[in-house]
């Protein structure tokens, strides 16, 4: 058993302190990175609670419950940025990348501490797969939200619609990775391939924003 | 032909069509005069595609059993919400209000859908959440059909009678003997698929005559009616309705493209 809160303090405090000594863009990245880590911790609490309530196996929790909880919690800071702080679409994409990176970093750290480092290759694969998956799912969500916001169509239906895309993508990854062999290999390559596919519309949105 | 073969065929057709339609919608984004509706449509098709792949992977790796509400359900309901958003974007700025009786009729139809699903399978969480999403989509479709004047007065009356007869038959089904239940089921299948064919034909006619807004609303209505059929039917009829839904997606893309060029 590990104490995730201590781990959050270990990584989070230096990140938080450094944010006072850096410029605006870097500070925003640091703060959002930290929010991503806190979101990961809270989603761990909620998934753990639901795991106890539903009485399912850890695998069932990872496949069915965790994707929904994690994506809903990742949506909340994005909605705050979009609706309250009125962050423009381009900046929102960058914010999403920072949030996703913080989330993935914390999750990877917890995983490595709990399960140990099996091998450098596995650690690299996990870093590339889970790390990219969280960023990709957040970027998918942000693309939906940015599209809605750009054309003044931010409504409950569009937000939940965009959320469903990221949840389904995340759940597909968790489902495939839960089975050994070919499904796991497909799962590990899925985030990277999607990231490459997303790069084109992402560039389009970026150029359209400037 | 076994049920598994039918399911696999349906899945293969669905993935191929959805992949093409989603790619086509994303590629049309840049050229579209109404990119918002196209963007929502593209996201909706992508969601449905990912949800479909998820469900196939689930069947292969874990079998058919699952928790009451999963990502596949969320993907399906997300599709309806994104399609509703796409439809709303097409009719943005339209101030015509549908009559109150239409709103009441659609709400009753949506509620009876939820009640029937729950009576059949008992999965009330999924039915309630899905029913709200699909009910909203029904309402959006009805509103846009009205705004586009896609149906004549007689056609609206016919549609109302069809819905009342269907719901009446399906409620009555619970009190019938086994042999009568089969007859009622077949009768309902005929009515449901006749609805799909009718909406599909009207969409094609609207497309050919260049009534782009009517074509969009009719294509979205075909999708709504196919979804209704899917959730009202058992295997293997379910897969036929699913295929009808899939084959309507390219029609919806064509209608949206036509509408975007006209605007």
| pLDDT per residue as tens digits for the range B191-204 | 999 999 999 999 99
| C-alpha pair distances (Å), A41 with each of A14, A55, A61, A187 | 17, 21, 16, 24
Residues 6+ apart with CB under 8 A from A201: A143, B26
**Per-residue pLDDT tens for A37-48?**
999 999 999 998
Q: Tens digits of per-residue pLDDT, B102-130?
A: 889 999 999 998 888 888 887 788 888 88
Query: Residue B64 gets which letter from DSSP?
Result: S
Contact between chains at A204 and B30 (C-beta distance less than 8 A): yes
Q: Given CB atoms, is B26 within the 8 Å cutoff of chain A?
A: yes
A interface residues, B as partner, C-beta within 8 Å: 54, 56, 60, 63-65, 67-68, 143-144, 147-148, 150-151, 153, 155, 157-158, 160-165, 167-172, 175-176, 178-179, 183, 201, 204
Average pLDDT over residues B128-148: 90
pLDDT band at A204 (very low <50, low <70, confident <90, very high): low
A94: CB partners within 8 A, 6+ apart: A29
Residue A209 has pLDDT above 60, yes or no: no
Mean pLDDT for A156-178 is 88
Give the pLDDT confidence score for residue B262 in this predicted structure. 46
Q: Look at A172 and B50 and tell me if their CB atoms are within 8 Å.
A: yes
At residue B254, the pLDDT reads 93
Q: Which residue bears the tokens 């698929």?
A: B193
Exposed/middle/buried for residue A184 (C-beta within 10 Å: 0-12, 13-18, 19+): middle
Q: Which of B53, B74, B136 sits opposite A68 (nearest CB)?
A: B74
The token duo for A117 is 């480092």
> Chain A residues with CB inside 8 Å of B72's CB?
168, 171
**What is the reported pLDDT for A206?**
56
Question: What pLDDT is stored for residue A207 in this prediction?
Answer: 56
- Mean local confidence (pLDDT), A29-38: 93
Q: Which residue bears the tokens 């579209």?
A: B32
Structure confidence by residue, pLDDT tens digits, B178-191:
888 888 889 999 99
In this complex, how many residue pairs, one in chain A and one in chain B, have their CB atoms less than 8 Å apart?
Answer: 113
Interface of B with A in 190-249 (CB under 8 A): none
The alpha carbon of B27 is separated from its chain's Cα centroid by a whole number of angstroms, namely 24
In the stretch 82-101 of chain B, residues with CB closer than 8 A to chain A read 82, 84-85, 88-89, 92
Measured distance CA(B94)–CA(B100) in Å, rounded: 17
Name the band, by pLDDT with cuts 50, 70 and 90, for residue B176.
confident
Q: Give the whole-angstrom CA distance, residue B226 versus residue B25.
A: 21
Average pLDDT, chain B: 87
| Residue A205 confidence (pLDDT) above 60 | no
Residues A116-151: tens digit of each pLDDT = 777 788 788 878 888 888 888 888 888 888 877 777
pLDDT at A43: 93
Q: What is the pLDDT of residue A203?
A: 63
Task: Give the chain B residue whose CA is nearest to the CA of A67.
Answer: B71
Joined together, the tokens standing for residue B117 give 């699903």
The pLDDT of residue A202 is 63
* % of chain B exceeding 90 in pLDDT: 38
Q: Report percent pLDDT > 90 for chain A.
A: 20
At B263 the pLDDT is 47
Helix B237-262 and helix B35-61, axial crossing angle in degrees, nearest 10: 160
Range B5-26 average pLDDT:
87
Instruction: Report the candidate in B25, B22, B50, B48 with the shortest Cα–Cα distance to residue B36.
Output: B25
DSSP chain A: ---HHHHHHHHHHHHHHHGGGS-HHHHHHHHHHHHHHHHHHHHHHHHHHHHHHHT--HHHIIIIIHHHHHHHHHHHHHHIIIIIS---HHHHHHHHHHHHHHHHHHHHHHHHHHH----HHHHHHHHHHHHHHHHHHHHHHHHHHHHHHHTT---HHHHHHHHHHHHHHHHHHHHHHTSTTHHHHHHHHHHHHHHHHHHHHHHHHHHHH-
Burial class of residue A183, CB neighbours in 10 A (0-12, 13-18, 19+) = middle
Contacts of A192 (CB under 8 A, 6+ apart): A128, A129, A132
CB-based burial, B100-127: b 16+ in 10 Å, e otherwise: eebeebbeebbebbbebbbeeeeeeebb
Q: Cβ B71–A64 below 8 Å, yes or no?
A: yes
- Taking Cα atoms as reference points, which of B196, B205, B131 lies closest to residue B159? B196
Residue B13 CB burial class (10 angstroms; 0-12, 13-18, ≥19): middle
**Region B34-43: what's the mean pLDDT?**
85
Nearest CA to B188 out of B120, B131, B134, B135 is that of B120
Q: Domains of chain A: which residue ranges? A: 9-207
């Amino acid at each position: 058993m590990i104490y995730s809160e201590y781990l959050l303090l270990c990584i989070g405090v230096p990140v938080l302190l450094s944010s006072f000594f850096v410029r605006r863009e870097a500070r925003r990245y640091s703060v959002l990175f930290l929010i991503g880590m806190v979101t990961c911790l809270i989603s761990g609490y909620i998934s753990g609670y639901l795991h106890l309530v539903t009485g399912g196996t850890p695998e069932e929790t990872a496949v069915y419950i965790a994707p929904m909880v994690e994506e809903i919690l990742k949506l909340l800071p994005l909605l705050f940025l979009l609706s309250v702080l009125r962050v423009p679409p381009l900046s929102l994409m960058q914010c999403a990348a920072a949030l996703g990176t913080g989330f993935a970093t914390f999750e990877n750290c917890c995983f490595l501490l709990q399960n140990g480092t099996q091998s450098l290759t596995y650690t690299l694969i996990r870093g590339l797969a889970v790390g990219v998956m969280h960023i990709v799912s957040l970027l998918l969500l942000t693309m939906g939200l940015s599209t809605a916001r750009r054309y003044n169509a931010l409504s409950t239906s569009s937000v939940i619609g965009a959320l469903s895309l990221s949840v389904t993508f995340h759940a597909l990854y968790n489902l495939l990775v839960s089975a050994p062999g070919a499904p796991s290999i497909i799962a590990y390559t899925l985030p990277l391939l999607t990231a490459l596919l997303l790069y084109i519309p992402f560039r389009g949105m970026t150029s359209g924003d400037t | 032909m076994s049920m598994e073969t039918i399911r696999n065929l349906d899945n293969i057709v669905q993935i191929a069509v959805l992949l093409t339609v989603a790619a086509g919608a994303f590629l049309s984004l840049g050229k579209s005069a109404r990119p918002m509706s196209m963007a929502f449509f593209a996201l909706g098709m992508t969601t449905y595609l990912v949800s479909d792949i998820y469900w196939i992977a689930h069947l292969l790796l874990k079998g058919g059993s699952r928790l009451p509400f999963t990502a596949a359900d969320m993907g399906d309901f997300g599709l309806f919400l994104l399609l509703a958003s796409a439809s709303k974007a097409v009719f943005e700025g339209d101030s015509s209000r549908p009559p109150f009786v239409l709103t009441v009729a659609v709400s009753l139809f949506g509620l009876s859908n939820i009640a029937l699903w729950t009576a059949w399978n008992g999965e009330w969480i999924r039915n309630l959440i899905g029913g709200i999403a699909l009910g909203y989509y029904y309402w959006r479709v009805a509103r846009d059909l009205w705004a586009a004047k896609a149906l004549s007065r007689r056609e609206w009356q016919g549609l109302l009678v069809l819905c009342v007869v269907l719901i009446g038959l399906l409620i009555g089904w619970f009190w019938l003997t086994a042999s009568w239940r089969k007859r009622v089921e077949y009768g309902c299948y005929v009515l449901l698929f006749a609805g799909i064919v009718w909406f599909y034909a009207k969409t094609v006619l609207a497309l050919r005559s260049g009534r782009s807004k009517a074509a969009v609303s009719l294509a979205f209505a075909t999708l709504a009616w196919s979804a209704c059929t899917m959730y009202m039917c058992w295997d293997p009829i379910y897969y036929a309705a699913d295929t009808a839904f899939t084959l309507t997606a390219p029609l919806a893309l064509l209608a949206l493209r036509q509408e975007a060029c006209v605007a």
